[in-house]
Amino acid sequence: MINNLDSLKQELLDYIASEEFAIFRGQSGNMEGLPKIYWDTEAYPEYQPYLNVAKIAGARIIVFAHREFDAAEIDDALEQIQDCDLGRDEQNTVESSLAELRAFAGSTCIIEMAFDYQGRMYVFELVTEWFQTFMEMSDLLIAAASANDDEEEDESDSSFGGYYSKN
């Protein structure tokens, strides 16, 4: 798994230009709703074969996007912990993990390249291991906060107990 995309980002841009593709600077995650096919970056992590496929398919434009990790995302996650019903040990573990991730603030966490071929976007996406960990923790916090909200709703619904009429 990849931990540093900052140096690879410039290497990719240089290679794309050297292969005479036009570079369209997109925004990460901005292809929602479009039919996409993802390159298997786990089995084939090299970008040159992907760009060779683009060239063979006749693509002239490569959409290139990247995302930098923002410290505000860590702050948001730390605030979200307050909405979760976590045990002290689990809360301390999550807070400690988030504090360690602060070292990556400002670093590139996602790189995406894409080209259009016959109405589908063919996507090459790299995500750092540390950002994948952050996303998993975020999902855990969202699920825990949601479960806590559901419990509070159940308690408020039951407060009408015998006073609710089905008439």
pTM over 0.85: no
pLDDT over 80 (residue 109): yes
Q: Could you tell me what percent of the chain has a pLDDT over 90? A: 60
- The 10s digit of each residue's pLDDT in 11-29 is 999 999 999 999 999 988 7
> Domain limits of the chain?
6-150
pLDDT over 90 (residue 90): no
The whole-number pLDDT of residue 160 equals 43
Name beta bridge partners: 63: 24, 114
Token readout for 60 is 């002239």
